[in-house]
Structure 1
Amino acid sequence: MDCGNLWRVVLLVCFAAPSLAQKTQLQAHLEHLDGVRNPMAATDEPRLEARRYIKEKFRELGLQVHSQTFNTILKPQYDEQTVSGENLVGIAPGTVGGPVMVVGADYDTPPQSSPLEDNGAGVAALLEVARHFMHETGANGPFQRLNTVIFVAFDLNVKAYGNSHPGKPGSYHFLHQWLWPYINQTSNNFAGAIILDSITKFSTEFGSQYVVQEFKDAFPKASSAIASSGNKGDFLAMFTREDSRSINLANMFTANYVKDRKANMFRLQPMSVRDGLSYVGVLKMFNHQSHHPFWSFRPSEELVPLPALLLTDTDVYRMSQDVCDRPCTPAAFLTRGREGFITKTIDAVTNTLLSLQTERVPVTGAGGKLGVTTPLFLIACVTVISGIIR
């Protein structure tokens, strides 16, 4: 092999290394999230296993780990029953004590859903955001944490199980009984939440995105953009309220998502929700997801809506380009398209946290922190390439 071709091979390996490492991490997470995690299932072991695994990963990352137990009510047939849930909280404390940010995902599973799609991949992404954030803000990282970030895996999202269940979901209990006291019962101490719920379905096929009339009425601009692309499910949907704090959070996430849009096949589709009759129908499409308790928060009689983004592939309103017959293994599920779509979301969420909750450490002399992240694999690649050129 001549020098020029060898240089190209080394360069390809260098830039493929991060993608391979990310896929390996995601698959390792999904191996612990491939069972039906629901208290009405034949066995509750998959939910308990997921719970153990998430706690273990939070601890490995150096997060302060807390568990919040709560009770909620299910009505699987005729009789109501009380079931116990456990929200899993990992805190990355800041040094200043400014507004807190939350990144959350449900780790349980609706009875009839694919456990990897809903919401195993969301939990895997949550764990990867936490891993990247803690690495970048660690002892040798280029960022210093100023404001606290809380990573939370919600249990028992009963609103996604069906309309017959009267209980409150885990995200409701987390917000009312854990987070609100934690932020001293004032919204000024809260910067916003980013919720990951069904983030794997991606398709460049025409007609793969189903747009109902209620959606067209509520989001005419977004519907027009989707229609102009042939109703392709080639985007991540971002739902947010249309108030100033929510818009600021959405704008920051958008800026981080579109940084490399020319080199990426995925796009972001914002959906701003206002109060009004045109939104009543569309709210029913996604008010079962874990952002909704933030939007509808009432610590007393007064409504105190809190900023929260819902990131989703729109779930049942989209057909996936990659079919994975059940039982679907994590290895078969994590195709190149799915892995790329999830990774794009992980990167954007991580960079949003770094933008809002940290500051870059100044460049220092020998022995100090560097101001630019320089992964070891990249240093090694540059060394090899330099040797080849010489």
Structure 2
Amino acid sequence: MSPTIRVKLSIMMFLEFFIWGAWFVTLGTYLLQNLKTTGTQVGVAVLTQSIGAIVAPFIIGLIADRFFSAQKILGVLHLAGAFLLWRASTAADFSAFYPSILTYMILYMPTLALVNSISFRQMKNPQKEFAMIRVLGTLGWIIAGVTIGWLNWEQSGNLGLTFEMAAAASALLGAFSFTLPATPPVKKEGRSTVGEMVGLDAIRLLKNRSYLIFFLASIAICVPLSFYYGFTNPFLNEVGMKSAAGIQSLGQVSEVLFMLLIPVFFARLGVKNMLAIGMLAWVIRYVFFAYGNADTNYWMLIAGIVLHGICYDFFFVTGQIYTDNLAGEQSKSAAQGFITLATYGVGMLIGSLISGQIVDAHKLGNELHSWQAIWLIPAAIAGGVLVAFVLLFKDRNSAPQPDEMLYQETTARLEV
């Protein structure tokens, strides 16, 4: 890959996640403080992410992979997204805000697959090259949060500017996308079914009992995950944390560090232990949030944020590796799309619907909430999922790990 293409892909990835991080982290705070919404309405707004995740495979599988170059679709979607984000920033109430953000997320979620597709098509060795490109996306999310904290938009009541900042970045990426390397549709022999194009053929993996347990646990663990996405920023601002959005970016820093350590932990702990530790981290995080405050237990808030690296990498990244190991060579992409549809689609959808209602049920008045009671609920859900997973999951049918394969190969040679 030439240096010019590497720089272009890095800029693309940086802007892709800067846009998302620029408004999504503080969405709950903006709605509660600026538009005076209920917690249920916040959940409905976060739910747009799940709707977008469910629709995305159809847009990519039925349109992008068949008729148009990926970089051109990316450009059109982000230019349209810029208009929708700008319109969302001018909404006077939730009824005016919601249609814009719903339409935006239906257009944005497919771009997550498009930037990956564009990147992979330019790489000779994606296993070595992709991580260095993808990490720029996490850096973009971090800088978006730091910028919001540095400009003090949360405390000053100017979170509407986050949508304007994201709109500007979306317009920039939209225009820039047309300069990216050409990524035309790959011509395939024969006709593909709708199920194959959207990844539903990967449903055969559920015949494996171990994978079925993992699949159900993935959906269930995304219910408490929706509490974090929708209400962490409002919680931190309510308890008095300054520059909350900026401090929340420590979670992405942690994510990068633990992602680099995944191969080491994976070889020593194995699939089941990695997944269990990831779920345990969710329990600990929410307990820290329940008992943390901006005074003597401030460290609990920071620890809860930093645990994001373990929460995300140990469960979701490990789960993606586990899925890749079990999927056949022809079904790897479909399998990844299927598990994403289940987690960010079905799991987050359920969580978004109930999290807002739980927050509303624990409202104390004067825009305050009983956060301890709120956070103990997702902690209990995550704990229940963890116990069920540990008792039921038996990793007997996964592909051998590298160290196991080396042992088997050595033993076979000795026998010969």
Q: TM-score range by the shorter chain?
A: under 0.3
Task: Provide TM-score, normalisation by structure 2.
Answer: 0.24
Which is richer in strand?
1
TM-score under structure 1 length normalisation: 0.25
Higher helix share: 2
User: RCO (CA 8 Å, sep 6+): is it higher in 1 or 2?
Assistant: 2
